[in-house]
Amino acid sequence: MPSVKSELRSGAYYDSAVLMQLQRGLLDLPGVLDSGVVMGTRANQELLEQSGLLVAELRQAGPNDLLIVVKAETDSLAIEALRQVDTLLSRRRSVVSGTFQPKSLETAVQQLPEAQWVLISVSGRFAAGVAREALALNRHVFLYSDNVSLQDEIEMKRAGQKKGLLVMGPDCGTAIINGIGLGFANRLRRGGIGLVGASGTGLQAITSHIHTLGAGVSHAIGTGGRDLQAEVGAITAHQALAALAHDAETQVIVLVSKPPAPEVGTQLLAASQGLGKPVIVNFIGYPPPGRKLGNLHFATSLSEAAELAVALSLAGSAPPRPAGQPIRGYLRGLFSGGTLAYETLLGLQSALSPIYSNAPLRDSQRLSDPLKSQAHTIVDLGDDVFMVGRLHPMIDNELRLRRLRQEAADPEVGLILLDVVLGEGAHPDPARELAPAIAEIKKARSLEVVAMVIGTDVDPQNIEAQIERLKDAGAIVFRTPTEATDYVARRMGARPVRAGVPVPAEALNRPLAAINVGLESFYTSLVGQGASVVHVDWRPPAGGNEKLAGILAKMKRK
């Protein structure tokens, strides 16, 4: 009958690669049927249990305990295997051989002063400490480690932002800087497409597809998966976008992420509108505002993001210039069509913030009183609340004319947007009533009025005459919500890029030199790619014993 034996080592630190090698080494021993070498987290204990390896004495282990389990044909073979643990651990040989290996980041920087990048892949509980050290030494950070706290991430990114340093990560799987892949990265052709991604395999899938389609990549900057959360505020993504905007090699930019916090997404898109290059946006699982909004192009999948980027880089077209001086006041959209209001809100929420509506896309956008606008506002005047005993605004303009005057009287309003829906059942001549009101407004003060006219050339109202009349009154007229939304976003949307010291252009364009702390395979990969690298023979303070490390830190301070 098979026998399962175990050993628990408290407070010992080994990196993940060492644990994997030990587990495989145990499996190769005579009579061993299965083995498990894991840190004692609840998830890992459950995994051991699923494999029938969780013996009773391990159930009390904590996340910093190392659990070693062997299942062998007999008791004695299992015990013998466990006896080999230290031998197996010591047998492990470093792939980083020959050269002198510094024991600290500080020494490594002295050894390779041109190294602008520090790759960190040590265990999560030590990673922030190493990253802070790197920032203090004025180095950009590629932080592969996961299980780093959000608080640490925010502090590090703010510190980096003040010094013009990038903190890619934590949990950043991928980057390509000046042709050199950091962490996980596909080998690719160089080219004019630059990428920013809060998504490791997202960047890999897009860059691989770009290569397969025959195009190439300038740089791919990872931000870590949480960068676009509200608490972090996309600090790294803002830095990276600005850096790619200034990078001469980058013609087209791709921005990929899981859904951002709404406010963060809006700020990023408003900043992207000001970059002067086409930007392909793929916020996976976030409803796109349409296909295009000024220089922004929205992809609905990773493949499509790659395809759009390649198409735009081949087209080589400059993005459309914003029309005239940007408008600084608020938008007020007064709609008769509920869906037109909704689609317009969808389009504009990505560029204008805060924006409110009585038909909101999310609760935070709900207008507290549908009768009063606040900030940017889109009102559906056909909403049930207005409709008790009143004809629909597509038949009767009364309600809209009153609201139109009310909005025009508000000095904070910069642009009024209307829909005019023609066809059977609708008002026989809406422009006859709307145009004089628009003309009156335009005469009173400088305020833009935009109208989307929905209808066909065979509708009873004579669409051409309706459009002419609205234009004569001073309105700017479009025939689809898409065109109207695109225009309004370009007139009102673009906002300057965030404050902070910009990342210097040379960060991306110097030959890549780096210091690696953690996984040796990342060192090997960098060397293989021709980069200058120093590997730090890093050990956690006090061998990973946190109590002891605390005492040591206290002594140091004294």
Q: Is the dihedral of CA 42, 44, 49, 54 positive or negative?
A: negative
**CB of 193: closest distance to a second copy in angstroms?**
14
Query: What's the rounded Cα separation, in Å, for the pair 322 and 276?
Result: 10
Q: Among candidates 8, 115, 116, 117, which has minimal Cα distance to 61? A: 8
Query: What's the rounded Cα separation, in Å, for the pair 127 and 131?
Result: 6
* Residue 66 or 508 having the CB closest to a second copy: 66
* Residue 71 or 498 having the CB closest to a second copy: 71
* Residue 204 or 218 having the CB closest to a second copy: 204
**CB of 23: closest distance to a second copy in angstroms?**
7
**CB of 74: closest distance to a second copy in angstroms?**
24
Backbone angles phi, psi at 7, to 5 degrees: -140, 145
Region for residue 391 given its phi and psi (left: phi exceeds 0; alpha: psi -120 to 50; beta: otherwise): beta
> Which residues, including other chains, have CB under 8 Å from residue 200's CB and lie 6 or more apart?
171, 172, 173, 174, 183, 184, 222, 225
Interhelix angle for 398-408 vs 430-444, to 10°? 10
* Residue 116 or 204 having the CB closest to a second copy: 204
Query: What's the rounded Cα separation, in Å, for the pair 127 and 541?
Result: 12
* Residue 330 or 386 having the CB closest to a second copy: 386
User: b vs e for 396-413, b when ≥16 Cβ sit within 10 Å of the residue's Cβ?
Assistant: ebebbbebbeebbeeeeb
Query: What's the rounded Cα separation, in Å, for the pair 122 and 83?
Result: 27
Query: What's the rounded Cα separation, in Å, for the pair 503 and 140?
Result: 9
Q: Among candidates 435, 428, 359, which has minimal Cα distance to 404? A: 435
**CB of 405: closest distance to a second copy in angstroms?**
10
**CB of 20: closest distance to a second copy in angstroms?**
5
* Residue 338 or 504 having the CB closest to a second copy: 338
* Residue 166 or 256 having the CB closest to a second copy: 256
**CB of 465: closest distance to a second copy in angstroms?**
15
**CB of 476: closest distance to a second copy in angstroms?**
18
What is the distance, to the nearest Å, from the Cα of residue 210 to the centroid of all Cα atoms in its chain?
Answer: 19
Backbone angles phi, psi at 450, to 5 degrees: -120, 135
**CB of 555: closest distance to a second copy in angstroms?**
28
* Residue 245 or 526 having the CB closest to a second copy: 526
